[in-house]
Amino acid sequence: MLDPRTHAVRGDLADVRLADQVFAPHYAAALPTVVTSQATLYGDRTRSEPIGEMKAGDAFEVLELAGDHAWGRAPATGLVGYVDRTVLDSAA
């Protein structure tokens, strides 16, 4: 069983890189982005559970953009969560 805190997998969506390890109704390829200003990484969509901090220049792999948040993985820490999408810019 994969740990959703460190593996980008939810009931409805998973990172395509995990397709050989988990079944999901949908898979997404990571979109590399860069954090433009300090941001909190949250463990849930309501952003009530902070699980980490990211600083400007950190990479973030987006797997879903919805409303004002993005869901994905922070490679530096290996954590998966939600971040305010306004602090993300496409990777150079």
| Residue 85 included in any domain | yes
Contact 80, 8 (CB under 8 A): yes
pTM beyond 0.85, yes or no: yes
Looking at residue 91, its pLDDT comes to 62
Residue 41 lies in a domain: yes
CATH of the domain at 55: 2.30.30.40
10 Å Cβ neighbour count for 49? 12
What pLDDT, in 10s, does the model give residues 35-70?
999 999 999 988 899 999 999 999 999 999 999 999
Q: Does 71 fall in a domain? A: yes
In a domain, 16, yes or no: no
Identify whether the C-beta of residue 63 lies closer than 8 Å to the C-beta of residue 43. no
Residue 48 covered by a domain: yes
Instruction: Kindly provide the residue ranges of all beta strands, DSSP E only, lying in the chain, ordered along the sequence.
Output: 14-15, 27-28, 31-35, 39-42, 50-54, 59-66, 69-74, 79-84, 88-90
Task: Tell me the pLDDT tens digit for each residue of 11-42.
Answer: 999 999 999 999 999 999 999 999 999 999 99
Domain span holding position 58: 30-90
